[in-house]
Structure 1
Amino acid sequence: MKQENKNVKTFSQHLDERYGKIGNPARTEFEIKAKSFAIGELIKEERKLAKLTQQQLAEKIGAKKSFISRIENGRSDIQLSTLYKLIELGLGRKVNLTIL
């Protein structure tokens, strides 16, 4: 017989309780910050694969090291043109956006 623990919640349930349902302003803000963090992690991973320091990547795109650090730590909103510069010019990779 399967025993259920009523205290265990799904991640979605946790987010609903903490930030409200999808569409709630607090939930939207959380989702935006989570996406910024994920983009920063992706850039950091690709930078390391390219064997570049933050300083070297910054120099390749004409930015400051602190800007690269803020992006990698999810603390900076970036424009699509900046994302393009980072990925394509700085890291030599291609940007492919998919909207689902």
Structure 2
Amino acid sequence: MKTYTLDEVQDKLIGKHGTPERERFEYELQMDLIGQAIKQTRQERNLTQEALGKLIGVQKSQISRIESNASNVTIDTLMRVFNALQAKVKFQVELPHCKISVGQ
């Protein structure tokens, strides 16, 4: 019986690193993890979705969508959520002739 490494299985099922399919999968996974982290932190701070929404000026339904999958939210809204949850945020963009870092 042949055994496979995790990398081999992922390459076969999801696509090799650098392919559009794999990049999309990795992006969606990261957005799901961010949503889960927001939900867990909100619950640890004893905030309801409605209370967090009021803190940042959005409806409860938007908080629910962010927690389900943070991929369809603006950076501004995410930053307001992180600020309300007292999260430390480091955001870095690297372009060919420019490097921008934003921290909170």
TM score, norm. by length of structure 2: 0.76
Q: CA RMSD in A?
A: 2.0
Report sequence identity in percent: 37
Q: Does the 8 Å contact 2:53/2:59 carry over to 1?
A: yes
Which sections of structure 2, spanning at least 5 residues, go unmatched? Answer: 94-104
Q: Are residue 58 (structure 1) and residue 65 (structure 2) matched? A: no
TM score, norm. by length of structure 1: 0.79
1:78 deviates by: 2.5
1:30 deviates by: 0.6
* Cross-structure match for 2:73: 78
Q: Which has the higher contact order (CA 8 A, sep 6+)?
A: 1
Which sections of structure 1, spanning at least 5 residues, go unmatched? Answer: none
Among 76, 90, 94, the alignment partner of 1:96 is 90
* Cross-structure match for 1:47: 42
* Distance in 1 of aligned mates of 2:7 and 2:72: 25
Q: Does the 8 Å contact 2:34/2:70 carry over to 1?
A: no
Q: What letter is aligned with 2:23?
A: T
* Distance in 2 of aligned mates of 1:11 and 1:82: 35
Q: Does the 8 Å contact 2:32/2:68 carry over to 1?
A: yes
